[in-house]
Amino acid sequence: MTWNGYEFDEGYKPEGFEEWAHDQVNGGYAFYLRGKYVLDDTGIEIEQQGDDDDLYIFCPRTEEVFDADQKEVFGEGTTKIMCSSGYRMHTDPACPRERYCGRTCRLLNAVYSYGQSINRTDDFAFYQRTDRGMMLRAFSYTVRYEGEKYELRRCGVGMFTEWLRIFYNADRTTEIWSRLRNNYHPYSGYFPTIQWEWRKKRLYQQYATFKVYSEDLTGTLLEGYAKYFDRTESYMDNAVKRAVLLIAMFRTPALKEVIKSGYDGIVEDYVHSLVAERPKIRNAVRGGAKSIKQFFGFELSKLNRLTAKQKAGLKFGDMKGLKLLIENGVAVTGETLTMSRNYKFESLCVLYEGKALREVLKYLRRQKIAASAAASDYMDYIGQIMALHLDVTDRSIVFPKDFQAAHNRYSKLLEYERTQELCKKFTDQAKKLRFACFRQGDLSLRVIRTPAELKIWAKRFRNCAAGRADRVASGRSLMCVIVNVHKPKAPYFMLEYDLQGRTIVECRGYENRKTEKDDPAAEEFCGKWLNFIEQRGATLAGKKKAGLAA
């Protein structure tokens, strides 16, 4: 037949394929409708009991009923049932001791009861010739067992449904056609369904897997490619990955040389990019790269200092760092490779290039800094000396004799300066808002004036208010404490006022155990304080603007 420009035998199936697929799916079970007689001549009846998902098994010889969970029997797990000769697994095609047990075997003579039909499904594929080369066809094979009286060894009714066609053409082109669609259910999650219409796909969509009947491709277009299955068996470990590996080798001829050179991690990443949506990897390789230099973007001899294990462990994420090393004349070794994997290595290469970068990396190696953290530690250090406005051209500063000691020293100095800056802003803001202090009866509200004072009160109240110093410094909030004038150091309530929203964000007591609404006196005091603010200047925000204008 002719289908989308291809000629092939649509009814073709390799000899033995159907029997092989049936043996893979069929479990050899028999089922009986619940509530009906199992054997008319014995009058034995299985009672209706238990859940619908229970599978009841009756042994006529011992007149014993025992049950097994349907999901265990027909799912990925296996259920074992005791028989006179030991354990017998449901999924085995036949009992190995059946010839010895004969009519005494509990399983051979057992009667299974289930109230509805059950389907068992699996996916299988085979390779087939076309007029333009080869193709892979994948089928979903379903065996249906009806809930009626059948013999124990009944095979069930099987049906093949084709859902995938991958074409490998002599002109190195490939096409993927599929009928699968991925659906989503809020309770069961994602699940694939087979549609009526064939659709051409840009990538292989791994909604379902399959087993291949035979991967012996001798005498076909794929013979020269199939030999790479053995070279990649450690990571191309199933039929789906190997089918996509063929697509990758057709699209990128240089991939053969990459496999031969032992770059297993890079090959695996690239093949996976043709399965999942990972465009960064696909875009990193020039389409149709015929040489290994085109594939990597540099001479492979640059990686000769790496061991075979290090080469196999390379990933596509390492390619950018490797190119930066090579472009700047840095020898690629295990240590420099580890450095290039750091998330700040690219920023380091922007700051230093060529000879300067080589000098920095040499310095970091002498300082015995862990290679995995060297780039980020050094970039943090450079950021510190720039924030402190130190001379970045002074070699004694850029390359200190003891890097770790200098790093720690500048960290403390920078923290101190930032603390001083925060303290000044906090104090200036508190001075502008000091008019908010208020007293009514035995209660007094004080504006907190410095970050140190905020820490003291946070410690007294046992809360985390000390972390809100930046809000005050930026002019967003006002921090106050409400105390009893007879016990001025005892914690009563701490209050945060939003200057923009003109509301009390929160007012909490000791250890945040209560709010002002839990204390009538505090609630009344807060209400009067808000009225006091309105009378003094309309709003605190307006007062702040007036002060700035003056």
H-helix or E-strand containing 113?
Answer: strand 111-113
Q: Tell me whether residue 323 is in a domain.
A: yes
Cβ-defined contacts of 155-162 (< 8 Å, 24+)? 155/22, 155/26, 155/28, 156/26, 156/120, 158/18, 158/21, 158/22, 158/25, 158/26, 160/18, 160/21, 161/194, 162/137, 162/138
Query: How confident is residue 118, by pLDDT bands cut at 50, 70 and 90?
Result: low
Residue 416 resides in a domain: no
Over 90: is that where the pLDDT of 84 sits?
Answer: no
Domain presence at residue 177: no
pLDDT of 37 reads 35
- Of the three residues 84, 116, 148, the one that is the final residue of a domain is 116
Percent of the chain with pLDDT over 90: 37
116, 140, 157 — which closes off a domain?
Answer: 116
Is residue 443 located within the same domain as residue 478? Answer: yes
- Give the span between the Cα atoms of 171 and 125, in whole angstroms: 23
Task: Examine the domain organization and report whether 329 and 433 are in the same domain.
Answer: no
434 and 394 in a single domain? The answer is: no
Contact assessment for residue 443 and residue 521, using Cβ atoms and an 8 Å cutoff: yes
Please state, as a whole number, how many other Cβ atoms lie within 10 Å of the Cβ of residue 316: 20
What's the rounded mean pLDDT across residues 471-477? Answer: 88
Q: Please indicate, yes or no, whether residues 441 and 378 belong to a single structural domain of this protein.
A: no
Residues 436, 542 share a domain: yes
Domain assignment present for residue 409? The answer is no
- Partners of residue 136 on adjacent β-strands: 127, 166
Write down the mean pLDDT value for the chain.
79
Residue 455 lies in a domain: yes
pLDDT for residue 429 is more than 60? yes
List the domain range (segments joined by +) for residue 515.
428-549
Residue 351 lies in a domain: yes
Do 328 and 380 fall into the same domain? yes
d(CA 438, CA 148): 88
Residue 493 counted as domain residue: yes
CA distance 369 to 446: 50
**Is it the case that residue 126 has pLDDT exceeding 60?**
yes
**Measuring CA to CA, which residue among 504, 453, 508, 457 is closest to residue 478?**
504
In terms of domains, do 545 and 439 share one?
yes
Domain boundary among 60, 94, 116: 116
481 pLDDT higher than 90: yes
- Note whether residue 291 is domain-resident: no
* Same-domain pairing of 475 and 543: yes
Q: Are residues 443 and 534 in the same domain?
A: yes
Residues 373 and 436 both lie in one domain: no
| 434 plus 543 within the same structural domain | yes
Is the per-residue pLDDT at 336 higher than 80?
yes
- The maximal CA–CA distance of the chain, rounded, in angstroms, is 109
Count of residues in the chain: 550
Q: How many domains does the chain have?
A: 3
Which of 164-168, 467-471, 495-499, 500-504 ranks highest by mean pLDDT? 164-168
110 and 38 share a domain? yes
